[in-house]
Amino acid sequence: MRKLRPTINAVFVVSLAALLIAGIVFVAGQALALLTGQGEWLTILNDAVKAPACIAASVCAIAGFLLSYGAEKGTAEKKTPAEEEKQHRPQQEARTP
């Protein structure tokens, strides 16, 4: 998995950028079509942009899952030695005055 991680990360970033751009084009195009009263633009956008955006979203989701699945335990957040010691000590009960 370590050898594939950079490739999967690149796929994730590229597909994320593609789906964000496609989403912006899709929504902005719909808004422009509604404001100008061009109903045929809506069908053109639906045919041209919607399918690639959905494919990019699916690829991004799968790549993100693979990245999270392959993440090593403890790499998400590094703890200081004091935090690790505190985690391993038994919890003391709070005293009420």
Give me the domain span that covers residue 62: 12-70
- Residue 27's pLDDT is 95
Residue 78 lies in a domain: no
Give me the number of domains the chain comprises. Answer: 1
Distance CA 97, CA 94 (A): 10
Q: Is 97 inside a domain boundary?
A: no
The number of beta carbons lying within 10 Å of the beta carbon of residue 8 is: 18
pTM of the full structure: 0.66
Residue 90 lies in a domain: no
What are the average pLDDT values for consecutive 10-residue runs of the chain, which has 97 residues? 87 96 95 93 92 95 89 59 65 58
